[in-house]
A and B are shown apart, each in its own frame.
Chain A
């Protein structure tokens, strides 16, 4: 188990998240993918802290966690708004600004 292994794992998880972000139509499913990606990033913070020394990486990860949670809260609120206005949560239906 080396640092590069952890980084590879984080990259793979991140790309899986990107795949979900690109394919999913439901807004909530997109939020799930974003969580996946954020988690992969957090993993990198902690791995850096563990392999390179110092506690700052963990502090950063904590902040990042809190911000991700905030993002989920706002994201869900937006999903509910979207559902109210369109009676649906598929993001490709919400493209009024294009017209």
Chain B
């Protein structure tokens, strides 16, 4: 009973913060709202007795991803200060489509038998999770670590490509990157793509 009440409250918070993420006029705020939404998710995980995942959610997402997002917003903004306008386009069409999608998904959930089910008495423990993760699925775990390594290298190469190219002499030295105060030019788009 307690859990049901907590679930209802958390669900309401998550939906509200999720809506703020997609509708906020300020990108920095939107990122912070996402943080709130992810925290709500962590609480929901805790309600469902997945405490390890809840802590990972807080550490990785709220601590890491959101910080990274805000860095990204700051690096690519065109204005000083925290005001980074987020523009939207054709909201009514998007609303109709997402409502349609929700109806379809809800219908699927509704039509599926056997979903009116309460929580099981014995939730899996963190020890079970650790055993499954590092014993049964250890190969997948290792592959995942390789993926993460590749991602790190790839992200660095992508983001620092020009400097890297210039350093090893692969790419000619290019003019300094445009600063945030420079308005979008009417040059041919793509003419500045790194060689």
Interface residues, chain A, with chain B CB atoms under 8 Å away: 1-9, 11-20, 22-29, 31-33, 35-36, 39, 42-43, 46-47, 49-56, 58-59, 61-63, 65-70, 72-74, 76-81, 83-90, 92-94, 96
Question: Which residues of chain B from 55 to 104 have a CB within 8 Å of any chain A CB?
Answer: 56-57, 60-61, 64-65, 68-69, 71-73, 75-76, 78, 86-91, 93-95, 97-99, 101-102
The number of chain B residues with a CB under 8 A from chain A is 93
Name A22's contact: one of B30, B56, B93 (CB within 8 Å): B93
Question: How far in angstroms is the closest Cβ of chain B from A63?
Answer: 6
Complex: how many Å from CA A92 to CA B177?
Answer: 21
Name A7's contact: one of B44, B52, B115, B156 (CB within 8 Å): B115
Question: Which residues of chain B from 142 to 185 have a CB within 8 Å of any chain A CB?
Answer: 144, 147-148, 151-152, 154-156, 158-159, 161-162, 177-178, 182, 184-185
Q: Which of A14, A50, A96 has the most CB of B within 10 A?
A: A50
Contacts A32-B21, A51-B120, A80-B75 given; indicate if A66 touches B144 (C-beta within 8 A).
Answer: yes
24 A-B residue pairings within 8 Å (CB atoms): A1-B4, A3-B117, A5-B7, A6-B48, A11-B109, A13-B18, A13-B37, A16-B18, A16-B22, A19-B94, A19-B98, A22-B90, A35-B61, A36-B21, A42-B41, A43-B44, A65-B56, A77-B159, A79-B72, A81-B159, A85-B189, A85-B190, A86-B189, A87-B182
Check if B105 sits within 8 Å of A18, measured CB to CB.
no
Known: A35-B69, A74-B158, A77-B156. 11 other contacts (CB 8 A): A16-B18, A19-B95, A24-B22, A27-B76, A28-B31, A35-B34, A39-B41, A50-B49, A63-B140, A73-B152, A83-B76
Question: How far in angstroms is the closest Cβ of chain B from A84?
Answer: 5
Contacts A70-B147, A87-B182 given; indicate if A49 touches B76 (C-beta within 8 A).
Answer: no
Complex: how many Å from CA A4 to CA B147?
Answer: 34
Question: How far in angstroms is the closest Cβ of chain B from A30?
Answer: 10
Closest to B50 in A: A46
Name B128's contact: one of A3, A12, A55 (CB within 8 Å): A55
Chain A residues whose CB sits within 8 angstroms of the CB of B148 once the complex forms: 66, 69-70
Q: Which of A27, A77, A90 has the most CB of B within 10 A?
A: A77
Chain A residues whose CB sits within 8 angstroms of the CB of B189 once the complex forms: 85-86, 93-94, 96
Chain A residues whose CB sits within 8 angstroms of the CB of B7 once the complex forms: 1, 5-6
Closest to A58 in B: B129
Check if B194 sits within 8 Å of A85, measured CB to CB.
yes
